[in-house]
A and B are shown apart, each in its own frame.
Chain A
Amino acid sequence: MWTNILKNQLLNKKNMNRRVFLKSSFLTIAVLIFSKEKLFAKVTPLDTLVLLQEDLFPLSKKLDSNSASYILKTVLNHSKIDDETKQFIRNGVKWLNEESVAMYSKTYTKLSYEQREKVLKAISQVNWGESFIYTMLKYIMESVLGDPIYDINTNQQGWAWLNYETGYPRPKRAFL
């Protein structure tokens, strides 16, 4: 209902406002990861995102939801998603890698599954990390369960997973 939706929106926004947003590059361009103020590694954010998507929602791979591509191509370019959110996604990928380096001296994609889980557990305990995981889940769920016209939810496998029948008529074109 409207009251709860409004409160959640407000809560999320208040949390986000407390953070300082650093400027970062686009997901396709290498991001520099620093450790103790020294350049540690360069990572391609898309690689991090692909693996993160599988860690956060393993079924997304099996259901062929195209989540990483959706975030990269659709979310980061969408006319109705604000710049702050887009920047937060970019920064979150960078901060996740920095946390990985701080904990295990390796970037996220070089960690074992168990190590990645521990990194996610660690960031989930701090404000930005919890918001980042929720933001990623939000867009992953959109790609699992949104209309395939957005090049997601291939063959409606996400809907089949939940025995879900969508509403009709379905969209004739994507709203971007």
Chain B
Amino acid sequence: MKYDVCIIGSGAGGSPIAYELSNAGFNVVVLEKGKYYKEEDFSKDELAISRREMFKPKLEDEFHIIKEKDENGNITTYDGREYNWSFWNGSMVGGSSNLMSGFFHRLKPNDFKLKSVYGEIKGSNIVDWPISYEELEPFYTKVEHVIGVSGNAKAHKFLEPRSTKNFPYVSLEENSVTQWFDAACETLEYESLPTPRAILPVNDLHRKACSYSNFCGSYPCATGAKGSARAALLQKCRAQIITEAFVYKLNSDDKKIIQALYYDNKGNSHTIEAKIFVVAAQAIETSRLLLNSHNKYFPKGIANNHNQVGKNLIFSAGGSGEGRFIFEDLTKEQQKELIQRGLFFNRSLQQWYEYEENGKVLKGGTIDFLFEHANIISKSLAEAYDSSGNILWGKALEDKIKKSVTSSRVLTFEVFNDWLPTDDCFVSVDDDKTDKFGIPVGVINLYGHPHDLNVGEFLAKKAVNVLEKMGARDISMSISSSPPPNLVAGGCRFGEDKKTSVLDKNCKTHELENLYITDASFMPTGGSVPYTWTIYANSFRVAEKILYKLNS
């Protein structure tokens, strides 16, 4: 049987294609490496989900080699198995969109033309996107309605142009401490913004409303309120999904992909034929698949005759910080507000999405605020050391845990700014090491440009100012070039020139007629927000292009 479309990967990049094309009547198959879990399978089991990482492959079976280059040019190699360094995130139908917090921000118009607006930065490969914000805007709006985005589009200096006045769903209910935050921002003359979320506040779209479970980020949603690719798209379309199907090779001639080969969970190999292939296996794995699929027409990997596959890998730069609110500093009424359970702390700052320093305009970023995760085991274990770094046990530890957990609450922040693309951050494949399927593992070559750290620190200091003004204690911040495994993009960027990009502006590979890539791999630069909304929007955009191609 020959399908119209074969999609590799069922996350935010692949699912809009599956949804649009299968609903248009085309025969679509989705190959997903993970299992098919549904709402009834999900719980808030900290042991299973956070501590045993049930939605990630076991590192002994599947891993990466990480080569990290420091500021002096020295490269240190880590075997992911030995160092417990995992880049997996959501191996399941719907991918990591099941586990996202759903902080949904659009990119700004200037994110599409970073080079033109802010100029070149030495040592980086920044380029303008081949499309504009205006071309993507209708699809951002579509996502608001199809995936379901709630919030309040408050006017501010960097609010992106919108074709609709506001979000289709009202804001989720908020913890009263957001009022302390708003007051602190007003004093500091900062613009406090409500954070849009890909979470339904009401029953709609044949999904249930948010239950305010207090366990959102890192946990799959048991009501279906969170706009995962599975709940919002795959369960709403007729695409065939084959699970536990690890695609290890694409076969091609000189112009087209002919087959996708996959192993099932028993190690048996299967072949899928289709007119069009779409790869959306997560940025690192997408490049790995292309590189491992080399043949006589593409000896360096599929679509890699110009040596661009895997290049310009990016992450979200920035880091995090926190401050603690202690009951003894608060009135009884404030204590009550602080411990309100389950309600969201949906606040962010984008006042410095662009800022001036030493007479030069720089690209800044976003700061999202949220309460410390409700996971009680990790929270308790965080108390295992005293202030001098000595490990504690016995009654001293018990008392410290009791005091910390029952008489205070931590507010955290996350900084998102651009991770500049460079020649030193890219995906390759290992010459020797293979995974449990016998396929060469991906090598993640890491390098963080020093500029990223400067911007991250600038933003984090603004967040610290807010926490101080709110009266938090024990304030800390950590900005580093550690790559967040859940915020990865690039590797097959799109552009006009096939010498510097893998994909054309419609996310079709320059070198093949029927191969598209629609996960975050296409992004030449990442903007300064979490990627998911942009991945969804772009995938809906590409779906229109593929639909046109199939119909003609």
Contacts and interface: CB of A to CB of B under 8 A. Distances in A.
Interface in B471-488: 478, 480, 482, 484-486
Nearest to B57: A80
B393 A166 contact: no
Contacts, number: 140
Interface in A142-159: 142, 144-147, 149-150, 159
Contacts of B211: 168
B54 A13 contact: no
Interface string B54-69: 1000111000000000
Contacts of B42: 169
B54 A80 contact: yes
Given A7-B482, A168-B213, A169-B42, A56 B393 contact: yes
Contacts of B215: 167
Contacts of A80: 52-54, 58
Contacts of B307: none
A172 interface: yes
Contacts of B166: none
Contact of A57 (B48, B51, B397): B397
Interface stretch (B19-27, B266-274, B351-359, B373-381): B373-381
Contacts of B48: 171, 174-175
Interface in A68-84: 78-83
Given A14-B83, A80-B54, A175-B52, A137 B47 contact: no
B85 interface: yes
Contacts of A59: 398
B552 to A, nearest CB: 44
A110 to B, nearest CB: 20
B55 to A, nearest CB: 10
Chain B contact-residue range equals 35 or more
Contacts of B45: 147, 149, 170-171, 175
A154 B455 CA distance: 49
Contact of B384 (A83, A137, A171): A137
A170 to B, nearest CB: 6
A82 B81 CA distance: 9
B376 A164 contact: yes
Interface string A1-38: 11110110110111001000000000000000000000
Given A3-B484, A58-B398, A171-B44, 15 more contacts: A1-B319, A7-B480, A7-B482, A10-B78, A10-B85, A17-B82, A120-B393, A142-B47, A145-B377, A159-B376, A165-B214, A166-B44, A167-B219, A172-B43, A175-B48
Nearest to A146: B47
Contacts of A39: none
Interface stretch (B175-183, B399-407, B511-519, B539-547): B399-407
A132 B319 CA distance: 30
B393 A133 contact: yes
Given A3-B478, A162-B376, A169 B44 contact: yes
A124 B44 contact: no
B397 A170 contact: no
B454 interface: no
Contacts of B54: 80, 175
B166 to A, nearest CB: 30
A2 B485 contact: yes
Nearest to B219: A167
A104 interface: no
Given A57-B394, A124-B390, A146 B46 contact: yes
Given A150-B47, A162-B405, A170-B43, A124 B391 contact: yes
Contacts of A147: 45-47
Nearest to A163: B406
A75 to B, nearest CB: 10
B412 interface: yes
Contacts of B52: 78, 80-81, 175
Contacts of A142: 47, 51, 377
Contact of B44 (A3, A137, A167): A167
